[in-house]
A and B are shown apart, each in its own frame.
Chain A
């Protein structure tokens, strides 16, 4: 658990971070976000004391961070930054082992840990162990950077725009990976970004800063449906708010039992799934935008998974011009369906929350 209490940083009389107070519970994924110069990075760097505090307190799991020697504190806190900051003269394995080595772990334990982390980030130890940072792609280097930050099993992971310098495609993959790692490890993460989509994708809590002040600290959905003021509203962006909301909704929340026979009572929604012997969806009868009664073979690309975001499900519906998607489990068996009505239902529910 991290508590910021009246955190302040001033340079030459100007408060770049001004009386910021918030509490991030253990296991939460907190995102600090805001426009350039809002103090988000400074706030992050005060947690591991790369930037000294001007005022206020930071409590990390009960300890005031200023009571600990800075190096000792930093070895308890993972730290990953934008350009990775990998040590160019060290191999991937040595880079990952940085903090365990500082903590003087025995060699066998370090080796095991390096292998474990490389597996966690899908880096083949045989291939990558002895490579140097300049031999890695941007995405691989960033994975190594995050693996290094996690190496000594820190209490907290601080990430300063870690995916800011990689291409959009790689960024999406890395975000998904980080999300998985967060769920696997249950680490408390503080993550700085200026990208609202990234924040919505990853955060369990978002702290929006502006001019050094904390404007709103909330769960992502609350921030969208109950913005504290016009600045928040503007920063989130109104044009695709509906889609942003859907990006925080999951198929499993809205899937319903699959329709296995025709219902003539539901005009326009009349459809049914054809299954194979293993219970996998083969074709869809009806429910096409352009042909109410056509039979469409199920395509691999428009199958939905329970953990998929509703935004992605909607996107697939729009692209393939179908009103429903099959929801399948890991074995490919049909376990439900998600329809265009589900998408609308979320919208209605979200509006219901506001009133």
Chain B
């Protein structure tokens, strides 16, 4: 009875969440494709500006480039981060745990702009240095949460897994990873959200992204450009965050 009420409440909350997510996704797509329709609005808001709508590139192109940057860098962060987290929680890699944790923490303390500045002489302008900076910057939450997530698996559960005849690989794949998954996904979520915001500064070294109108607006003192870029980046971050929230929920069980 109680459980049914609880379940119904959760279902209602979930469907409310669905609604919000749906509206935001429609808004995101609408603005990306139809920012031009808002030109009269921007003209009214910024009558002093001769050119209140960013038009050097389509917002769709910028959005896709931005998503591409984030996807690529997050893929690298997640691959390296999860692998490193797994390595230092295995018997062979345990002694590297403090080192890996502090390396990742140091990576996090560098401002991404500084990493960009270092990466440019090494990798040239454009896409590559941005990817390097974003990947490094997104590494820490993934590593930390992978280690933390694997640490939450109870000792008795591991003992039972061993006692029932699972080998190391089976224990990892069937027990440790599924149980650690919610925490690992939470780490990826932080990493991706941070990267969505940080990817904008890639434009300073010539990587096309939603930061391009932002930077152009800042340089050219055009607040309308800044708003257009920021609006889309913000929406993209919120939608992604909500999507991750549901992913996390799918992997958690109980309570």
Question: Chain A: residues with CB nearer than 8 A to chain B?
Answer: 48, 50, 71-75, 79, 81-89, 98-99, 102, 132-134, 148-149, 158
Contacts and interface: CB of A to CB of B under 8 A. Distances in A.
B217 to A, nearest CB: 48
A337 to B, nearest CB: 48
B165 A132 contact: no
A134 B165 contact: no
Interface of B: 154, 156-157, 159-167, 170, 174-175, 178-179, 253-255
B107 to A, nearest CB: 32
A119 B201 CA distance: 63
Contacts of B165: 71-75, 99, 102
A74 B162 contact: yes
B163 A148 contact: no
A86 B164 contact: no
B255 A79 contact: no
Given A72-B165, A74-B163, A74-B164, 17 more contacts: A50-B159, A50-B163, A73-B165, A74-B165, A75-B164, A79-B160, A79-B163, A81-B160, A84-B156, A85-B154, A85-B161, A87-B161, A88-B253, A102-B166, A132-B254, A133-B254, A149-B164
Q: Which of A50, A83, A84, A85 has the most CB of B within 10 A?
A: A85
Contacts of B255: 134
B155 to A, nearest CB: 9
* Across the A-B interface, the 8 shortest Cβ-Cβ residue pairs: A85-B160, A79-B163, A74-B165, A75-B165, A134-B254, A85-B156, A83-B156, A71-B165
A102 B254 contact: no
Contact of B178 (A48, A73, A84, A89): A89
A81 B156 contact: yes
Contacts of A74: 162-165
Contact of B159 (A85, A88, A148): A85
A89 B253 contact: yes
A85 B179 contact: no
Nearest to A75: B165
Contacts of B163: 48, 50, 74, 79, 81, 85, 158
A196 B154 CA distance: 29
Contacts of A48: 163
Q: Which of B159, B164, B178, B255 has the most CB of A within 10 A?
A: B164
A340 to B, nearest CB: 47
A115 to B, nearest CB: 20
A102 B160 contact: no
18 contacts: A74-B164, A74-B165, A75-B164, A75-B165, A79-B160, A81-B163, A82-B156, A84-B156, A84-B160, A85-B154, A85-B157, A85-B160, A85-B161, A87-B161, A88-B254, A89-B179, A98-B166, A149-B164
A50 B163 CA distance: 7
A105 to B, nearest CB: 13
B170 A102 contact: yes
A74 B255 CA distance: 32
Q: Which of B156, B160, B174, B253 has the most CB of A within 10 A?
A: B160
Contacts of A148: 164
A315 B110 CA distance: 76
Given A71-B167, A99-B165, A88 B160 contact: no
Contacts of B162: 50, 74
Contacts of B174: 87
A99 B174 CA distance: 13
A203 to B, nearest CB: 22
Nearest to A69: B167
A71 B166 contact: yes
